[in-house]
Structure 1
Amino acid sequence: MTDLARRLARPEILALEPFDLGDREANPDAIKLDANESPFGPLSGGSIAAGVNRYPEPQPQRLRAAMASLYGMEPSQFLVTRGGDDAIDLLCRTFLRGPQDKVAVTSPSFSAYAHFARLQGSGVCDIPLDPDDFGLDPERVIAALEADRSVKLLFLCTPNNPTGTAVDPAVILRIVDALPDVLVLADEAYLEFSETASLAAEAVSRPNLLVLKTLSKAFALAGARVGGLIGPAETLEIIARAMPPYPLPTLSIAAALEALQPARRAVHRERIAQLLAERERVAPLIASATHVRKVYPSAGNFLFLETSDTDQLAARLQADGIKVRYRPNAAPGGIRLTIGTREENDAALAAFGVAVAKTAERRAELARDTKETRIALAIDLDRAEPRRIETGIPYYDHMLDQVAAHGGFSLVLNCEGDLEIDPHHSIEDVAIALGQGLRNALGDKRGIGRFGFALPMDETEAQVLIDLSGRPFCKFDGRFAATHIGDYPTEMTPHVFRSLADSLGAAIHVKVEGENDHHKVEACFKAFGRALRQALAFEGKSDALPSTKGML
C-alpha cells in the first residue's frame, strides 16, 4: 500500500518536508508556549453550535462584513479564509503553474510560504535578511526579483515570524512600487502587537499588494481557523475561485462573530495590552538566563532568543512541561517563546533558571449575553489601571468608575443593551456581571481583609458595610426625591447593590442620608468602592483564610 502511494505521488510532494508543528499531541497538560496562540479562551457567552445541520455560506456575509469593518474596508475588499495558512495556499494555487513559476521569501521567515509553493511544484527564491538584526533591505529584494522574472509572488511577514522584527511600511511600499509585475503579500498576522501601521488601506489601491489578516492571535481564535485577505475586489474574486465550496465551518463562523462583537472589543484590547506588558517584563528577565545569549527586539506576541547548550536547555524545558519552538535555521540555538499568562511566563522563566517571586493573579474575564444585553468585562484586583467603562448610560459609567477607582482595581467593561426600551436591563445585568467578575477574581479569598467602610460627601453621609462571606444579603436604607440623574433612574440604586450582593456572594448594607440626590447616589458608589478596597486588600499571611469556619 505504501509503495503504491509512493509510486503515484507527485515527486514534489515526496520531496516536501512535513510542517514543523512541534509535538502537539504529547503531554496535554504542558504549558504551550510554542505556537504563538493566545493564552486566553475565546470570549463566548453561550452555545455556538446552532445551525450545524446546514452547509455554511461559501463566503459568510455577516463575518465578511464584520472583519472588513474591523480593518476599515468594504466587504468586497475582504476575502474570508480558513486562517492565514489557507490564504497563503490559495495564492499559490491561484498563481503558480509549477516549475516555471517561483515565489520569493525573505529568510528566516514563516515556513508556510515556501511549503505551499513547493506543493505546487514551484521554486523558491530565498533572499536572506540582515544576519545581524534580521532587517529587510528593500534594494536587495528588488535587485533579486528584477534578476529573476519567474517570481510571481513575494511574501513579506510584518512583523516577521519567527524573529519578531518590525518592518517599516514604507520599506514594503518601496518594494511594491518597484515591482509592478510581482504580487506582494504583507502578512500582518502579528500586527496587533506592534506599533507599526497597517498596509490595509494601501492594498485596496494598489493592484500588486495584498494584506493577510488573522483572528488566531489577538482574538484568541487559533482553533477556529479564521483569517482573510485584503485587496482590490477584482483580485479577490479571482483568488476566491480556488476556494472549496464551503471553506469555513459553521462553528468557526459563529465563534468569530461572537469574538468580533463591539462589546468584546475593549476586553480584546486589554488582553493585547496585558501581553505587551508581559513581553516587556519577560524580555530582560530571560536575557539574564545562563543559556540565553541574545534576546531580539520583538513586535509580536513572542520573543526570539539565541541560546547556548540548547540541548541541555531543551531537556530542562521538556522536564518542566514547557513547550517552545526551536528555530536553529534562523539563528544558532534559536528559540521562539510565545508570551502567555503571567503564571505561564513565570514557569518558563523558572525553567530557564531565572528566579521570580511568585504572585497569584487576581484577574477575571467574562462575557454575559442575554436577549437584552451583551456584556464583556475584565477585572484585575491588583492593578489600578486601566478603567474603561461603556454601558450607554453616562452617569452609570461614572458611578462604576468611582467603584473601581476607590476600590483600587482595574475594570474594563462594555455593555450593549436595549436602551431604546429602558436602562433597567443594562443597569441590572452590568451589576450582576460585575459581581460575578469580582467573585471570580477573588478566587479562594485567602489573605484578604474581608470587611469595611463609611464615607461623607459634602452634606451627604453614606455608609457601606460589606462582608465577602459567600452568603448574599443586601439591605439598603435611603430615599431619593429625583426620579433620574441624567439617564440613570435613581430607583435602580438599591437594585444595583442587591444584584451585586447576589452575584458577588456578599453581605452589603448601605445607608445614605443627605439633601442632594446626585451626591447621595455618588456617595453610595464611592463608599462601596472604599469598602471593597478594604475587603479586597491582603492582610497578614497570604494563605490565611479570614474565617473561623475554614471556608468562605
Structure 2
Amino acid sequence: MKKVLFIDRDGTMIKETADEQIDAFEKMIFYPKAFTYLGKIAKELDYELVMITNQDGLGTDSFPEDTFWPVHNFIIKSFENEGVTFNKVFLDRTFPHENADTRKPGTGLLTEYFSKEYDLSNSFVIGDRLTDMELAKNLGSQGIFINDETNLGTGEITVDRGALNDIIALENNDWERIYEFLKLKDRVSEISRKTNETDIYIKLNLDGTGISNIDTGLAFFDHMLDQLARHGQMDLDITVKGDLDVDEHHTIEDTAIALGEVFAMALGNKLGIERYGFCLPMDDCLAQVAIDFGGRNWLVWETGFKREMIGKLPTEMFQHFFKSFTDGAKSNLNIKAEGQNEHHKIEAIFKAFAKAIKMAVKRDVEKMVLPSTKGIL
C-alpha cells in the first residue's frame, strides 16, 4: 500500500502573504531548507508527494489566472529541478467557499485515495492551518502542523489536540525537522500476552520522554520498571494480572518475556541504531550493563545478593527477569554489580540497563544503515 504526503503550498512551501495571493514573482519567497529536505524526503522515503492548495477566487477579477499560473508553474518546476516531483497537484478555487467539499478540509478532490491501494493511516497532511489538520482527520491520516510566526496570512491558530488525533505540532516551519520526524518516526509497539498464569498488556514508545504507567501487582517490581522508562527516556505502559496467590515467579518471568518481545517489535529493521550500549554508580554500588540488540539471546550475570528478598521480590528472580528479557528481545546482556546495599544494587542495575538501552536504540538520521557486517540482525 502506498503512503502519501499531502502538502499545502502557501505557508508551507512558500511564505504566505498578507493578501493570501501569490500572484507576482516579487511576492514569492521559498522557505529555508525546503528544497534540500523535500529533496531528501523524495529520494530517501517511500511517500507519494501530493500538493493540495486552496486558491480562493482564482479566475476572478481580483485574482486573475494570468498572474497566478506563471508563478505557480515556476514553483513546480523549481522543485522538480531539485528532484521533488508531485504525483498530483490539486487546486481548489471555490469562491465563495461555504460548504464546498472540494475545498480543504473537504476531501472532494482526493476521492481516489480512499482505496485499498493507499495506506492513509500512515500518510500525512503537512500544512500551516487548522483546515489542513482537519483534512488529515477527514482522510484518516496523521497531521504535521507548522506555524511560522512571520506567516502574515494565518493569524492566531490553535490546534485542538483533544479533537484531532495524531497531530504533530512544530513551532516553526523547519523542513529539516519535518524530514527527521518522517525518517525517524516514533518506534511504537504493543503486545498482549495471555496464558493460564498471566494476562499481560505492554505498550512501548522507544522515542518517548519517560512517561510510565505500570501495574504488575508487585510494588518493587513496578518501581524498577519505572526506572527503565524514566532513565531510558521511553514511554512504557504495563498492566499485568498474574497468579500472585501462587507466587511472583510467573508474573516476573512472563512480563520479562513480553517486554523483550515488544522491544524486538519496536526496533523493527534496526536501521541506524547504535546497537550497543552503561556503567553508573549509586551510592555504595557500581553497576555495569552492556547490551547488544544483535538478534541472539545470551545473559552474563555477575552479581550476588546477601538478602533473600527486596521488598516482596526474591532476589533470585532478578537474574531470571533479565534472562527472560534476552530471550524475548533476542539480545545479549552482560550485567555486573558490586556494593553493600542490596536495594541500591538492583536499582543501579535497572538504571544502567535503561541507559544501556537508550544508547543502543539511538539513531542517526544521516546514517540509516544496519550496524552489522552480516547484513541482518
TM-score (norm 2): 0.58
Q: How big is each residue's C-alpha offset from its partner over 1:258-309, in whole Å with a ceiling of 9 and x where there is no partner?
A: xxxxxxxxxxxxxxxxxxxxxxxxxxxxxx962398xxxxxxxxxx996428
Change over 3 Å in CA distance of 1:292–1:471 after alignment to 2: farther
Q: Residue in 1 aligned with 2:239?
A: 414
CA distance in 1, matches of 2:138, 2:107: 16
What residue ranges of structure 1 are gaps of 5+ in the alignment?
1-28, 32-287, 294-303, 325-333, 347-354
Describe the SS at the equivalent of 2:270.
coil
Amino acid paired to 1:429: D
Matched, 1:449 2:245: no
Q: Residue in 2 aligned with 1:337?
A: 138
Amino acid paired to 2:118: G
Q: How big is each residue's C-alpha offset from its partner over 1:529-551, in whole Å with a ceiling of 9 and x where there is no partner?
A: 01001001113634211111111
CA RMSD of aligned residues (A): 3.5
CA distance in 1, matches of 2:311, 2:351: 18
Change over 3 Å in CA distance of 1:444–1:420 after alignment to 2: same
Q: CA shift at 1:385, angstroms?
A: 4.2
* Percent identical residues: 39
Change over 3 Å in CA distance of 1:495–1:340 after alignment to 2: farther
Amino acid paired to 1:388: N
Amino acid paired to 2:138: L
Q: Residue in 2 aligned with 1:434?
A: 259
Q: 2:2–2:118: 8 Å Cα contact kept in structure 1?
A: yes
CA distance in 2, matches of 1:448, 1:437: 16
Return 307-316 or 510-519, whichever deviates more.
307-316
CA distance in 2, matches of 1:499, 1:507: 11
Q: Residue in 1 aligned with 2:330?
A: 505
Change over 3 Å in CA distance of 1:341–1:436 after alignment to 2: farther
CA distance in 2, matches of 1:551, 1:503: 18
Q: Residue in 2 aligned with 1:459?
A: 284
Pairwise mapping of residues 166-205 of structure 1 onto structure 2 (< 5 A)? none
Matched, 1:314 2:102: no
Q: How big is each residue's C-alpha offset from its partner over 1:81-134, in whole Å with a ceiling of 9 and x where there is no partner?
A: xxxxxxxxxxxxxxxxxxxxxxxxxxxxxxxxxxxxxxxxxxxxxxxxxxxxxx
Q: Residue in 2 aligned with 1:397?
A: 222
What residue ranges of structure 2 are gaps of 5+ in the alignment?
4-50, 57-98, 122-133, 145-164, 167-174
CA distance in 1, matches of 2:120, 2:287: 53
Q: Residue in 2 aligned with 1:242?
A: none
Q: Residue in 1 aligned with 2:53?
A: 290
Q: CA shift at 1:481, angstroms?
A: 1.0
Q: Residue in 1 aligned with 2:312?
A: 487
Q: How big is each residue's C-alpha offset from its partner over 1:356-402, in whole Å with a ceiling of 9 and x where there is no partner?
A: 53233311011000110000011011111431111000100010111
Change over 3 Å in CA distance of 1:538–1:514 after alignment to 2: same
CA distance in 1, matches of 2:339, 2:100: 62
CA distance in 1, matches of 2:272, 2:374: 15
TM-score (norm 1): 0.40
Q: 1:292–1:307: 8 Å Cα contact kept in structure 2?
A: no
Amino acid paired to 2:305: F
Q: CA shift at 1:466, angstroms?
A: 0.7
Q: CA shift at 1:323, angstroms?
A: 7.0
Q: 1:373–1:417: 8 Å Cα contact kept in structure 2?
A: yes
Change over 3 Å in CA distance of 1:498–1:342 after alignment to 2: farther
Describe the SS at the equivalent of 1:290.
strand
Pairwise mapping of residues 3-402 of structure 1 onto structure 2 (< 5 A)? 290-291=53-54, 307-308=102-103, 313-314=109-110, 317=113, 321=118, 337=138, 339-340=140-141, 357=179, 358-359=182-183, 360-402=185-227
In the alignment of these two chains, the number of paired residues is 244
